[in-house]
Chains A and B, each alone.
Chain A
Amino acid sequence: MTATATATETSKPVNTLAQPVAPARELRPQVDIYENAEEVLLLADVPGASKESVNVRVEEGVLSLEALRTLANGQTVRYQRAFHVPESVDPEKISAELKHGVLHLHLRKAEKAKPRTIAISAN
Protein backbone atom coordinates (compact mmCIF):
# COMPACT_ATOMS: atom_id res chain seq x y z
CA MET A 1 0.00 0.00 0.00
CA THR A 2 1.41 3.36 -0.95
CA ALA A 3 1.21 6.35 1.31
CA THR A 4 -1.49 7.91 -0.81
CA ALA A 5 -3.70 4.84 -1.00
CA THR A 6 -7.12 5.35 0.42
CA ALA A 7 -8.88 3.34 3.08
CA THR A 8 -9.41 -0.24 2.02
CA GLU A 9 -11.88 -2.55 3.59
CA THR A 10 -10.72 -5.41 5.75
CA SER A 11 -11.74 -8.86 4.64
CA LYS A 12 -13.61 -9.62 7.83
CA PRO A 13 -15.55 -7.64 10.38
CA VAL A 14 -13.30 -6.46 13.13
CA ASN A 15 -14.86 -6.59 16.54
CA THR A 16 -13.34 -3.88 18.62
CA LEU A 17 -15.87 -3.77 21.40
CA ALA A 18 -14.29 -4.34 24.75
CA GLN A 19 -17.38 -5.84 26.29
CA PRO A 20 -19.97 -8.17 24.81
CA VAL A 21 -23.21 -6.49 23.81
CA ALA A 22 -26.79 -7.68 23.80
CA PRO A 23 -27.75 -9.61 20.67
CA ALA A 24 -28.35 -7.18 17.86
CA ARG A 25 -28.91 -7.40 14.17
CA GLU A 26 -25.80 -6.34 12.36
CA LEU A 27 -25.79 -4.33 9.20
CA ARG A 28 -22.94 -3.31 6.98
CA PRO A 29 -23.53 0.31 6.02
CA GLN A 30 -23.00 1.47 2.46
CA VAL A 31 -20.13 3.91 2.16
CA ASP A 32 -18.57 6.47 -0.14
CA ILE A 33 -14.91 7.26 0.24
CA TYR A 34 -13.40 10.47 -1.08
CA GLU A 35 -9.93 11.87 -0.86
CA ASN A 36 -8.17 15.14 -1.36
CA ALA A 37 -4.77 16.49 -0.37
CA GLU A 38 -5.90 17.22 3.17
CA GLU A 39 -8.02 14.27 4.17
CA VAL A 40 -9.89 11.11 3.44
CA LEU A 41 -13.65 11.61 3.77
CA LEU A 42 -15.79 8.58 4.49
CA LEU A 43 -19.59 8.77 4.31
CA ALA A 44 -21.61 5.92 5.74
CA ASP A 45 -25.38 5.43 5.62
CA VAL A 46 -26.62 4.79 9.13
CA PRO A 47 -30.33 5.75 9.01
CA GLY A 48 -31.99 5.98 12.41
CA ALA A 49 -28.74 5.75 14.35
CA SER A 50 -28.44 7.97 17.40
CA LYS A 51 -25.57 10.39 17.75
CA GLU A 52 -24.64 9.05 21.18
CA SER A 53 -24.25 5.53 19.86
CA VAL A 54 -21.66 6.37 17.23
CA ASN A 55 -18.31 4.83 18.01
CA VAL A 56 -15.31 5.37 15.77
CA ARG A 57 -11.83 4.17 16.51
CA VAL A 58 -8.52 3.51 14.86
CA GLU A 59 -6.38 0.74 16.20
CA GLU A 60 -3.37 -0.82 14.56
CA GLY A 61 -4.23 0.66 11.22
CA VAL A 62 -7.85 -0.48 11.31
CA LEU A 63 -10.64 2.04 11.40
CA SER A 64 -13.84 0.64 12.80
CA LEU A 65 -17.13 2.41 12.91
CA GLU A 66 -20.19 1.40 14.80
CA ALA A 67 -23.60 2.93 15.44
CA LEU A 68 -26.79 1.69 17.02
CA ARG A 69 -30.38 2.08 16.04
CA THR A 70 -33.51 1.11 17.89
CA LEU A 71 -36.34 -0.02 15.64
CA ALA A 72 -40.02 0.66 16.29
CA ASN A 73 -40.41 -2.90 17.58
CA GLY A 74 -37.69 -2.35 20.18
CA GLN A 75 -35.09 -4.38 18.37
CA THR A 76 -31.55 -3.05 18.16
CA VAL A 77 -29.66 -2.80 14.90
CA ARG A 78 -25.91 -2.45 14.94
CA TYR A 79 -24.23 -0.82 11.98
CA GLN A 80 -20.67 -1.99 11.79
CA ARG A 81 -17.87 -1.85 9.29
CA ALA A 82 -14.11 -1.75 9.38
CA PHE A 83 -11.42 -0.52 7.01
CA HIS A 84 -7.68 -0.58 6.75
CA VAL A 85 -6.47 2.99 6.76
CA PRO A 86 -3.32 4.20 5.04
CA GLU A 87 -0.42 5.29 7.18
CA SER A 88 -0.83 8.79 5.85
CA VAL A 89 -3.90 9.26 8.05
CA ASP A 90 -3.29 10.78 11.44
CA PRO A 91 -5.31 8.69 13.94
CA GLU A 92 -5.32 11.59 16.38
CA LYS A 93 -7.14 13.85 13.96
CA ILE A 94 -10.35 12.11 13.11
CA SER A 95 -13.61 13.96 13.39
CA ALA A 96 -17.13 12.70 12.91
CA GLU A 97 -20.53 14.23 12.35
CA LEU A 98 -23.97 12.75 11.83
CA LYS A 99 -26.28 14.47 9.35
CA HIS A 100 -29.59 13.15 8.00
CA GLY A 101 -28.65 9.60 8.90
CA VAL A 102 -25.25 9.81 7.22
CA LEU A 103 -22.06 9.52 9.24
CA HIS A 104 -19.31 11.83 7.93
CA LEU A 105 -15.81 10.84 8.97
CA HIS A 106 -12.96 13.22 8.28
CA LEU A 107 -9.64 11.43 8.40
CA ARG A 108 -6.97 14.10 8.25
CA LYS A 109 -3.66 13.27 6.72
CA ALA A 110 -0.49 13.66 8.71
CA GLU A 111 1.53 16.75 7.85
CA LYS A 112 4.32 14.79 6.24
CA ALA A 113 1.91 12.94 3.97
CA LYS A 114 0.45 16.04 2.41
CA PRO A 115 1.77 17.06 -0.97
CA ARG A 116 3.94 20.10 -0.74
CA THR A 117 4.93 22.67 -3.24
CA ILE A 118 8.59 23.55 -3.12
CA ALA A 119 9.50 26.92 -4.41
CA ILE A 120 12.51 27.08 -6.64
CA SER A 121 14.50 30.17 -6.14
CA ALA A 122 16.06 31.64 -9.21
CA ASN A 123 19.64 32.72 -8.76
Chain B
Amino acid sequence: MLLRWNDLAFAGFEPRFPAFDALRVLRSFDQDVSAQRVWQGPRLQLRDLGEELRVSADLPGYKQEDLQISYEQQTLVIRGQRGEAAPEGYAAQRQERTERTSFARKIALPVRVAADQIVASLKDGVLELRMPKLAADRPRTIAVNAS
Protein backbone atom coordinates (compact mmCIF):
# COMPACT_ATOMS: atom_id res chain seq x y z
CA MET B 1 0.00 0.00 0.00
CA LEU B 2 1.26 3.40 -0.86
CA LEU B 3 1.09 5.76 2.09
CA ARG B 4 1.24 9.44 1.69
CA TRP B 5 3.85 11.70 3.17
CA ASN B 6 1.66 12.98 5.94
CA ASP B 7 0.46 9.62 7.10
CA LEU B 8 3.83 9.48 8.74
CA ALA B 9 3.10 12.55 10.76
CA PHE B 10 0.55 10.61 12.72
CA ALA B 11 2.66 7.53 13.21
CA GLY B 12 4.33 8.38 16.47
CA PHE B 13 1.64 10.45 18.08
CA GLU B 14 0.83 9.59 21.62
CA PRO B 15 -2.90 9.50 22.26
CA ARG B 16 -2.30 12.29 24.68
CA PHE B 17 -1.93 14.80 21.87
CA PRO B 18 -4.45 13.68 19.28
CA ALA B 19 -5.31 17.18 18.19
CA PHE B 20 -1.76 18.37 17.87
CA ASP B 21 -1.43 20.43 14.76
CA ALA B 22 -3.77 18.14 12.89
CA LEU B 23 -5.15 20.90 10.73
CA ARG B 24 -1.73 22.09 9.77
CA VAL B 25 -0.76 18.59 8.80
CA LEU B 26 -3.81 18.19 6.60
CA ARG B 27 -3.19 21.49 4.91
CA SER B 28 0.40 20.67 4.18
CA PHE B 29 -0.70 17.37 2.67
CA ASP B 30 -2.76 19.39 0.29
CA GLN B 31 0.31 21.29 -0.73
CA ASP B 32 2.21 18.15 -1.40
CA VAL B 33 -0.25 17.26 -4.11
CA SER B 34 -0.70 20.64 -5.68
CA ALA B 35 2.80 21.95 -4.94
CA GLN B 36 1.53 25.36 -5.89
CA ARG B 37 0.86 26.81 -2.49
CA VAL B 38 3.46 27.94 -0.02
CA TRP B 39 5.16 25.26 1.97
CA GLN B 40 4.31 25.76 5.63
CA GLY B 41 7.05 23.74 7.18
CA PRO B 42 8.53 20.36 7.77
CA ARG B 43 6.82 17.29 9.12
CA LEU B 44 6.99 17.50 12.91
CA GLN B 45 6.50 14.84 15.48
CA LEU B 46 5.97 15.38 19.18
CA ARG B 47 6.42 12.52 21.59
CA ASP B 48 5.95 12.36 25.34
CA LEU B 49 8.47 9.99 26.91
CA GLY B 50 7.38 10.65 30.48
CA GLU B 51 10.48 12.42 31.79
CA GLU B 52 10.96 14.39 28.60
CA LEU B 53 9.31 15.59 25.43
CA ARG B 54 10.86 14.96 22.07
CA VAL B 55 10.25 16.85 18.90
CA SER B 56 11.64 15.67 15.62
CA ALA B 57 11.49 17.35 12.23
CA ASP B 58 12.49 16.21 8.77
CA LEU B 59 14.81 18.86 7.38
CA PRO B 60 16.69 17.38 4.46
CA GLY B 61 19.33 19.73 3.09
CA TYR B 62 19.33 21.96 6.16
CA LYS B 63 22.56 22.42 8.06
CA GLN B 64 23.08 23.39 11.67
CA GLU B 65 23.67 27.03 10.78
CA ASP B 66 20.42 27.16 8.79
CA LEU B 67 18.29 26.57 11.87
CA GLN B 68 17.19 28.79 14.71
CA ILE B 69 15.40 27.32 17.68
CA SER B 70 13.90 29.16 20.62
CA TYR B 71 11.71 28.33 23.59
CA GLU B 72 9.62 30.74 25.55
CA GLN B 73 6.47 30.39 27.64
CA GLN B 74 5.89 26.74 26.84
CA THR B 75 6.19 27.44 23.14
CA LEU B 76 8.89 26.11 20.89
CA VAL B 77 9.74 27.98 17.71
CA ILE B 78 11.81 26.43 14.93
CA ARG B 79 12.88 28.56 12.01
CA GLY B 80 14.92 27.49 9.05
CA GLN B 81 16.36 29.08 5.99
CA ARG B 82 18.71 27.40 3.62
CA GLY B 83 20.58 28.83 0.69
CA GLU B 84 19.32 28.58 -2.84
CA ALA B 85 19.67 24.92 -3.66
CA ALA B 86 20.06 25.33 -7.41
CA PRO B 87 23.63 24.38 -8.30
CA GLU B 88 25.59 26.74 -10.48
CA GLY B 89 25.83 26.07 -14.17
CA TYR B 90 22.85 23.77 -14.33
CA ALA B 91 19.47 24.34 -15.90
CA ALA B 92 16.58 23.38 -13.63
CA GLN B 93 14.26 20.75 -15.09
CA ARG B 94 12.15 20.10 -12.05
CA GLN B 95 12.12 21.75 -8.65
CA GLU B 96 10.05 20.25 -5.91
CA ARG B 97 12.62 20.66 -3.18
CA THR B 98 13.74 24.20 -3.76
CA GLU B 99 10.35 25.60 -2.92
CA ARG B 100 11.07 24.41 0.58
CA THR B 101 13.87 26.74 1.48
CA SER B 102 12.42 28.51 4.49
CA PHE B 103 9.84 27.96 7.19
CA ALA B 104 8.84 28.93 10.72
CA ARG B 105 6.93 26.60 12.98
CA LYS B 106 5.52 27.31 16.40
CA ILE B 107 4.65 24.45 18.70
CA ALA B 108 2.69 24.84 21.91
CA LEU B 109 4.03 22.23 24.31
CA PRO B 110 1.60 20.41 26.60
CA VAL B 111 3.87 20.79 29.66
CA ARG B 112 6.67 23.05 30.81
CA VAL B 113 10.23 21.98 30.03
CA ALA B 114 13.62 23.00 31.41
CA ALA B 115 14.69 25.60 28.87
CA ASP B 116 18.38 25.44 29.79
CA GLN B 117 18.47 21.67 29.32
CA ILE B 118 17.04 21.43 25.82
CA VAL B 119 19.40 19.54 23.53
CA ALA B 120 19.12 19.75 19.75
CA SER B 121 20.85 17.47 17.29
CA LEU B 122 20.78 17.26 13.51
CA LYS B 123 21.64 14.03 11.76
CA ASP B 124 20.97 12.90 8.19
CA GLY B 125 18.52 15.72 7.69
CA VAL B 126 16.49 14.97 10.82
CA LEU B 127 16.36 17.44 13.69
CA GLU B 128 15.72 16.03 17.13
CA LEU B 129 15.02 18.06 20.26
CA ARG B 130 15.16 16.51 23.70
CA MET B 131 13.35 18.58 26.27
CA PRO B 132 13.38 17.41 29.90
CA LYS B 133 10.18 18.31 31.69
CA LEU B 134 10.25 20.58 34.71
CA ALA B 135 10.21 18.49 37.85
CA ALA B 136 6.74 19.75 38.77
CA ASP B 137 5.36 18.53 35.44
CA ARG B 138 6.82 15.04 35.50
CA PRO B 139 4.57 12.08 36.02
CA ARG B 140 4.48 10.73 39.54
CA THR B 141 2.97 7.80 41.29
CA ILE B 142 0.57 8.58 44.07
CA ALA B 143 0.44 6.13 46.92
CA VAL B 144 -2.90 5.30 48.42
CA ASN B 145 -2.90 5.39 52.19
CA ALA B 146 -4.77 2.70 54.04
CA SER B 147 -7.07 4.24 56.61
Query: Which residues on A are within 8 Å of B, measured CB to CB?
Result: 6-7, 13, 25-28, 30-36, 40-41, 43, 45-50, 71-73, 75, 77, 98, 100-102
User: Is B86 touching A34 in the complex (CB atoms < 8 A)?
Assistant: yes
B-side interface mostly = loop
User: Is A45 touching B61 in the complex (CB atoms < 8 A)?
Assistant: yes
The proximity string for B residues 78-117 relative to A, scoring 1 for CB distances below 8 Å and 0 otherwise, is 0000000111011111111110100000000000000000
Query: Which residues on B are within 8 Å of A, measured CB to CB?
Result: 1-3, 5, 7-8, 11-12, 47, 54, 56, 58-63, 85-87, 89-98, 100, 124-126
Q: Closest A residue to B95 by CB, please name it.
A: A32
Contact residues in B for A27 (Cβ distance below 8 Å): 3, 5, 8
A101 to chain B, nearest CB (A): 2
From known contacts A32-B96, A47-B126, infer whether A41 and B87 are also in contact, taking CB-CB under 8 Å. yes
From known contacts A34-B91, A102-B125, infer whether A71 and B11 are also in contact, taking CB-CB under 8 Å. yes
Show 17 A/B contacts (Cβ-Cβ < 8 Å), sorted by A.
A6-B93, A25-B3, A27-B3, A28-B5, A32-B95, A32-B97, A33-B94, A34-B87, A34-B91, A34-B93, A35-B90, A35-B91, A43-B61, A45-B58, A72-B56, A73-B11, A77-B8
User: Is A26 touching B2 in the complex (CB atoms < 8 A)?
Assistant: yes
From known contacts A27-B3, A48-B124, A73-B11, infer whether A102 and B95 are also in contact, taking CB-CB under 8 Å. no
Contact residues in A for B47 (Cβ distance below 8 Å): 72
Contact residues in A for B8 (Cβ distance below 8 Å): 25, 27, 71, 77
User: Is A47 touching B60 in the complex (CB atoms < 8 A)?
Assistant: yes
Contact residues in B for A100 (Cβ distance below 8 Å): 60-63, 124-125
Contact residues in B for A45 (Cβ distance below 8 Å): 58, 60-61, 97, 125
User: Is B126 touching A101 in the complex (CB atoms < 8 A)?
Assistant: yes
Bound-complex Cα distance A13 to B63 (A) = 31
Bound-complex Cα distance A47 to B5 (A) = 12
Contact residues in A for B95 (Cβ distance below 8 Å): 32-33
Contact residues in A for B85 (Cβ distance below 8 Å): 32, 43
Shortest Cβ-Cβ A-B pairs, 10 listed: A101-B125, A34-B90, A101-B60, A47-B125, A45-B60, A6-B93, A47-B58, A30-B96, A33-B94, A33-B93
From known contacts A32-B97, A36-B91, infer whether A75 and B11 are also in contact, taking CB-CB under 8 Å. yes
B94's partner among A25, A32, A49 (CB-CB below 8 A) is: A32
Contact residues in B for A43 (Cβ distance below 8 Å): 61, 85, 97
A48's partner among B96, B98, B125 (CB-CB below 8 A) is: B125
